[in-house]
Amino acid sequence: MGNQAPSIMTEEGIPEESDPATYDDTIYSKSEPFPVLELPFDKEGFVQSFNVEQIEEYKAFFEKYGFVIVDKVIDQEAIDGSIEEVWAILEASTKLFGKEDEKVNRNDSNTWVNDIFPGNPMGIVGGNECLRGKYCWQNRQNPNIYSVFSNLYGSKTLWSSIDRWGFMRPTKNVPMGKLPEGGKVRTEVNAETSPDLEAKDHPDWKTKKLWLHWDLNPWKWTGTQEGVDYAFKDFITENNGSKNDGKGKLQGILNLVDSRVGDGGFCCVPGFHRHLKDYCKLTRCSTFAQKNSLNYSFVNVHPDDPLNQQAQKISVRAGSLIVWSSELPHCNYPNDSSRFRVNQYIKMFEAQEGKTNTDIRRKILDEVFEKQNIQVTDLGKKLFYLEDWDTSFWSSLF
Ligand SMILES: [Fe+2]
């Protein structure tokens, strides 16, 4: 297609077949930005949200923006219990190659330093630890969360993901040293609670700044370019696997501490799901698109792409669920406050009997539930594939 980038909203000038000699990576910096959607905020400064009964309202919001927030999907007891569970995981973890005696202690901020803290630079915690804990399983089989995913997919036969936790340390005015214990769930640190300690800013604790990405391959997903199917190997691989069956792919965050704009959290490009196909038609003319069009189910936005300037921070209350279309570029943005950011990644997807290794999954989960004495509800048995879905069960749910 030469050096002339076509208008991003039309198909004009886009060749039927890509010719490697004409790939053009400057296409990203030359392309015009997509229209930015203004987000509605409520009086307390959080992005507009809905309650679980406002089904038509939240579906309409999702249709327009490509994401939606539903409030109070879990209660305070579950919020507090979940936060305690993440701390327990952090305290039990040893950083790779770290010393056994160097572990995180929630009551000693000197142990939150980079040499000890086990989270990754993106603010995500956990691997196999995601299989451990009463609340992580309780949340994954929560009926409110199921109903939101079910309504957005227009499908009842869903499976729940087994995904990780999100955790960001505070980075502003952190009192350094032994903190008061007092039994309170630790969500914030400040000079008021620890007047005797020297407070310090910790820019070195910030997570990666802007890493907008898709958890799918946009060109393969939209059918713009051929790709290779992604094989399921383990839980994390399954979470990132994607096949476009026409029903969409949704992702979710269960938020556990109020996340205001300064606290770090989730950001995305609202409304981009409506432009993805046009975008892919344009960008398939680039080397970047070609390189990312085969095996990858995690694709970063090109560094020169104006999309990087269009990401918006999504402020959200504790106990709320954010669900977004995987067609939106998204990432975590860093913490710039004295509060922690804590969340659980939960998503649901169409049951895939026959498409993945259900027997192994059932065996693993049966063992996990028995060992940990986890209460699995009738709904949970379907969502964790211990039992097949059957239509007679729905009447007890809806
Ligand atoms: Fe992602």
Q: What is the pLDDT of residues 1-36, one digit of tens each?
A: 233 333 333 333 344 445 666 788 888 888 777 888
Which region among 55-64, 74-83, 205-214 has the lowest average model confidence (pLDDT)? 205-214
Q: How confident is the model at residue 242 (pLDDT cuts 50, 70, 90)?
A: low
C-beta pairs of 35-40 under 8 Å, 24+ apart in sequence: 35/271, 36/270, 36/310, 36/312, 37/64, 37/65, 37/270, 37/271, 39/65, 39/270, 39/312, 39/314
CA 119 to ligand 1 centroid distance, Å: 16
Q: How confident is the model at residue 61 (pLDDT cuts 50, 70, 90)?
A: very high
Higher pLDDT, 205 or 121: 205
pLDDT at 152 over 50: yes
CA 311 to ligand 1 centroid distance, Å: 13
d(CA 350, CA 329): 22
Instruction: Give 319-355 pLDDT, tens digit per residue.
Output: 999 999 999 999 999 999 999 999 999 999 888 766 5
pLDDT at 69 over 90: yes
Domains of the chain by residue range: 20-396
CA 347 to ligand 1 centroid distance, Å: 11
The pLDDT of residue 5 is: 33
CA 213 to ligand 1 centroid distance, Å: 6
How many CB atoms are closer than 10 A to CB 297? 21
Task: Report the candidate in 271, 262, 273, 174 with the shortest Cα–Cα distance to residue 221.
Answer: 273
The pLDDT of residue 10 is: 34
d(CA 287, CA 25): 6
The pLDDT of residue 217 is: 87
pLDDT at 113 over 60: yes
CA 392 to ligand 1 centroid distance, Å: 35
| Mean pLDDT in residue range 216-226 | 80
d(CA 90, CA 93): 5
What is the DSSP track for 45-63? Answer: SPBP-B-TT-HHHHHHHHH
CA 349 to ligand 1 centroid distance, Å: 15
CA 382 to ligand 1 centroid distance, Å: 25
CA 366 to ligand 1 centroid distance, Å: 28
CA 256 to ligand 1 centroid distance, Å: 18
Highest mean pLDDT among 60-69, 119-128, 150-159: 60-69
CA 239 to ligand 1 centroid distance, Å: 10
Cα separation values, 135 from 4, 188, 344, Å: 54, 21, 10
CA 201 to ligand 1 centroid distance, Å: 28
The pLDDT of residue 240 is: 63
CA 252 to ligand 1 centroid distance, Å: 10
CB–CB of 85/139 below 8 Å? Answer: no
pLDDT at 149 over 80: yes
The pLDDT of residue 224 is: 72
Q: How confident is the model at residue 229 (pLDDT cuts 50, 70, 90)?
A: very low
Side-by-side strand order, sheet with 312-313:
299-300, 213-214, 330-333, 265-268, 312-313
Instruction: Give 281-290 pLDDT, tens digit per residue.
Output: 888 888 888 8
Strands 321-325 and 67-70: antiparallel
CA 214 to ligand 1 centroid distance, Å: 6
Phi, psi at 158, each rounded to 5°: -110, 155
> Which SS3 state, helix, strand or coil, does residue 379 take?
helix
CA 378 to ligand 1 centroid distance, Å: 30
CB–CB of 152/59 below 8 Å? Answer: yes
Q: Which residue has 């205001």 as its token pair?
A: 260
Check residue 316 and report its DSSP letter. B
CA 93 to ligand 1 centroid distance, Å: 23
Task: Report the candidate in 292, 368, 351 with the shortest Cα–Cα distance to residue 25.
Answer: 292
Which region among 63-77, 148-162, 227-241, 351-365 has the lowest average model confidence (pLDDT)? 227-241
d(CA 264, CA 123): 9
CB–CB of 219/292 below 8 Å? Answer: yes
Task: Report the candidate in 284, 294, 216, 215 with the shortest Cα–Cα distance to residue 28.
Answer: 284
The pLDDT of residue 136 is: 94
Cα separation values, 380 from 20, 138, 308, Å: 49, 9, 38
Phi, psi at 180, each rounded to 5°: -65, 140
Tokens of 366: 């049966």
CATH code linked to domain 20-396: 2.60.120.620
CA 251 to ligand 1 centroid distance, Å: 8
Q: How confident is the model at residue 230 (pLDDT cuts 50, 70, 90)?
A: very low
The pLDDT of residue 8 is: 35
Tokens of 320: 């709320």
CA 192 to ligand 1 centroid distance, Å: 36
CA 272 to ligand 1 centroid distance, Å: 15
| Mean pLDDT in residue range 154-165 | 90
CA 258 to ligand 1 centroid distance, Å: 20
What value does the mean pLDDT of the chain take?
A: 84
Q: How confident is the model at residue 121 (pLDDT cuts 50, 70, 90)?
A: confident
Helix (H) or strand (E) holding 266: strand 265-268
d(CA 240, CA 111): 32
pLDDT at 226 over 60: no
CA 103 to ligand 1 centroid distance, Å: 28
CA 210 to ligand 1 centroid distance, Å: 12
Higher pLDDT, 321 or 96: 321
Q: How confident is the model at residue 396 (pLDDT cuts 50, 70, 90)?
A: low
Tokens of 78: 């579950």
The pLDDT of residue 239 is: 64
Helix (H) or strand (E) holding 124: strand 124-125
Neighbours of ion ligand 1 (CB under 5 A): 215
**Amino acid (one-letter) located at 177:** G
The pLDDT of residue 195 is: 82
pLDDT above 70 covers what percent of the chain? 83
The pLDDT of residue 9 is: 33
CA 107 to ligand 1 centroid distance, Å: 31
The pLDDT of residue 33 is: 79
CA 328 to ligand 1 centroid distance, Å: 9
Which region among 8-17, 44-53, 139-148, 349-358 has the lowest average model confidence (pLDDT)? 8-17
| Mean pLDDT in residue range 379-387 | 90
